[in-house]
Structure 1
Amino acid sequence: MLTHHSLQFLRNLNQNNNREWFQANRQDYDKTKVEFENTCQEILNGISQFQPNLLNTTVKSCLLRINRDIRFSNDKSPYKKYIAAGFGPGGKSSGFVDYYLQIQPGESFLGGGMWSPTPTQLTNFRQEIDYNPQHLKGIIENSLFRDYYKEIHGEKVKKMPKGYPIDHPEIELLKYKQLFFVHRYSDEDVTHPNFANEVIEGCKILKPYLDYINEIFFGQTD
């Protein structure tokens, strides 16, 4: 499980984001990494029970590197302020729309959904809404789903997408060019012994929406 040690390490890293400090505190990072790996292994084991295509996925393949890619960034801080994992078949680089978990003091969350679709994928998404809006609405307006994922996140276009009338009954859904969901966790949630099970339940609730998106984008569920 994750402990207050891991959250404190991330707080300290945020205040001392340089290689000299990181190397001097490498043991604390290693402990944090082990705690996160163990937590992610529990989560992966749980998700695999309702998503069998994750059964052969290793936890190491799900973990994101803590090092930042600073080549094209004005911010030259070498490390991320968080630790994170992507849970998909084969790991974080599955190519599907998968579950994403980020741990950061005061800002931890589980999320997933349509983040950066290609133009073709976005067109297909809008066509599906136009053809059968009740499929998507039946998922995201379900009471269990809405209790856990309380709002839709994502950018919208200001004008109606080309090819759709301005008085379309699903105008607001059609305007989305991103559509994803997030559930946030407090630091107390993250360090609770039941945290892994809480994330597993969150993934189970999110799964119908991810299946919906993966079917539209790739012709198959994740």
Structure 2
Amino acid sequence: MIDPSLIAFLEKLAMNNNKPWFEERKPFFKKLDADFKNVAKHIKENLDQHDVIEKTKTFRIYRDIRFSKDKTPFKTHRSVNWIRAGEERRGSYFMRIKPNDNLIGVGFFGPEKEDLLRVRKELELDAQELRSIIKENNLKNCWGDLQGEQLKTAPRNFDKNHPDMDLIRYKSFYFMKSFTNEEVMSTAFPKIVDDCFKKIRPFLDYMTDVLTTDLNGESIL
């Protein structure tokens, strides 16, 4: 479970986002952060039962303010990314703990230009498999609808009248699920997260298959 004290700390940090306030409470934050990393480790152990995770990346609380108009020094959330192992496993899992805005996510956030073109070409050829996956009840009941920024019109060199243009216009392909503070502080939270990660696997497998083959279905690895 997520320690209720972490939620309370992040709420106070949002109101006192300055170095003196944080430095005074840094030892307490380190304890809370160790607990957060233990939750991330537990979720990773669950993931290892049905996927292969190469790396768990816990993001720093310090903000990079060099090129930002917002000069507040700290993030008011904690987040972690679980990266799947090897070229044959594409995509990653994500969790953010932010008071009243907690979420998990899975998918492809801002894919490389070559990967995006490959997915679009696949959808241009045949989008039915992806449509079937994202409409499947187990996935939809947990994750809802496919999300991601979209172009307002057809990408260059694609027919704007293509029947699957609603999918081809996507620039990112991902799913997100929100949680209340009470839900993330529940002892059931890691299991709920893992159940959702299991249900999204067909989507990850589909995208992996597309991104590791050419349009003839031949492996490019």
Residue 86 in 1 paired to residue 81 in 2?
A: yes
Residue 168 in 1 paired to residue 159 in 2?
A: no
Q: TM-score, normalised by structure 2?
A: 0.88
Residue 27 in 1 paired to residue 22 in 2?
A: no
Instruction: Give the CA RMSD over aligned residues.
Output: 1.9
Moved more, 143-152 or 102-111: 143-152
Q: Note if contact 1:110-1:202 (Cα within 8 Å) is conserved in structure 2.
A: no
- What is the match of residue 8 of structure 1? 8
Structure 2: unaligned runs, 5 residues or longer: 214-218
Once residues 68 and 207 of structure 1 are traced to their aligned partners in structure 2, the CA distance between those partners, rounded to angstroms, is: 32
Q: Note if contact 1:6-1:31 (Cα within 8 Å) is conserved in structure 2.
A: no
- What is the match of residue 40 of structure 2? 40
Once residues 164 and 191 of structure 1 are traced to their aligned partners in structure 2, the CA distance between those partners, rounded to angstroms, is: 47
Once residues 169 and 35 of structure 1 are traced to their aligned partners in structure 2, the CA distance between those partners, rounded to angstroms, is: 49
Once residues 26 and 116 of structure 2 are traced to their aligned partners in structure 1, the CA distance between those partners, rounded to angstroms, is: 43
Once residues 208 and 145 of structure 2 are traced to their aligned partners in structure 1, the CA distance between those partners, rounded to angstroms, is: 21
- What is the match of residue 192 of structure 2? 198
Once residues 17 and 90 of structure 2 are traced to their aligned partners in structure 1, the CA distance between those partners, rounded to angstroms, is: 32
Q: TM-score, normalised by structure 1?
A: 0.88
Superposed CA offset, 1:100-121 (max 9, x none): 1000000010002221122211
1:197 alignment partner AA: K
Superposed CA offset, 1:135-188 (max 9, x none): 211211111111111122211111122333232111211111122110001101
Structure 1 or 2: larger strand share?
2
- Aligned residue-pair number: 211
Residue 121 in 1 paired to residue 115 in 2?
A: yes
Q: Note if contact 1:9-1:28 (Cα within 8 Å) is conserved in structure 2.
A: no
Q: Note if contact 1:82-1:103 (Cα within 8 Å) is conserved in structure 2.
A: yes
Once the two structures are TM-superposed, the CA of residue 8 in structure 1 deviates from its matched residue by: 0.2
1:115 alignment partner AA: F
- What is the match of residue 214 of structure 1? 208
2:187 alignment partner AA: P
Once the two structures are TM-superposed, the CA of residue 218 in structure 1 deviates from its matched residue by: 4.6
- What is the match of residue 49 of structure 1? 49
Superposed CA offset, 1:90-133 (max 9, x none): 7xxxx952001000000010002221122211110111112221
Q: Note if contact 2:61-2:74 (Cα within 8 Å) is conserved in structure 1.
A: yes
2:30 alignment partner AA: D
Once residues 158 and 107 of structure 1 are traced to their aligned partners in structure 2, the CA distance between those partners, rounded to angstroms, is: 28
2:105 alignment partner AA: G
Identity %: 27
